[in-house]
Amino acid sequence: MKLKVFLLIFLNLSLLASEYAVVSNITLDTLNKKQIKAIFLKKLTHLNGIKFVPVNLASSSKIRDAFESEVLQMSKKRLKSYWIKRHYLGKRPPLVMKSQKSATKFTQNVLGSLTYIELKNIDKNLNILYRWSAK
């Protein structure tokens, strides 16, 4: 009986996990977490002759929270401090779009752009470069 209850709880928790992906309009092999982090922190700006254009969602987005926590592995406070320091070096943070829909449209139309969205919202015109789950 206890095993059945445990399995039910485990299955319900796994269904609550959200799946996300970093997507782009460019054809690349999948990228690893370290490369994605470097792109969104603008430490890696080019690969195979393609200039990256990282696109964030609004700071109030739950998806952005999951991305910063799981992929960038940085708190909002630490990330803000990072970009303040980079500002004085002439570096700007990634563009910000208000919604997954606007980020997706931008990514479809601008060569080299990357964004992160819920896996269920991926369009056939976008390539998945990295996937992760968050609870």
pLDDT value of position 123: 82
Domain ranges of the chain: 18-134
pLDDT value of position 125: 87
- Helix H or strand E segment including 85: helix 76-87
DSSP state of 121: G
Quote the distance between the C-alpha of residue 11 and its chain's center: 26
pLDDT value of position 8: 45
pLDDT value of position 124: 86
In angstroms, the Cα distances linking 70 to 56, 66, 73 are 14, 6, 5
Topology of the domain comprising 18-134:
D-Maltodextrin-Binding Protein; domain 2 (3.40.190)
- Of 58, 44, 50, nearest to 103 by C-alpha is 58
- Of 9, 68, 10, nearest to 40 by C-alpha is 68
Distance CA 43, CA 36 (A): 10
pLDDT one digit per residue (tens) for the chain, 135 residues: 555 544 445 444 445 569 999 999 988 877 899 999 999 999 999 988 889 999 999 999 999 999 999 999 999 999 999 999 999 999 999 999 999 999 999 999 999 999 999 999 998 889 999 999 986
- Of 116, 16, 103, 133, nearest to 64 by C-alpha is 116
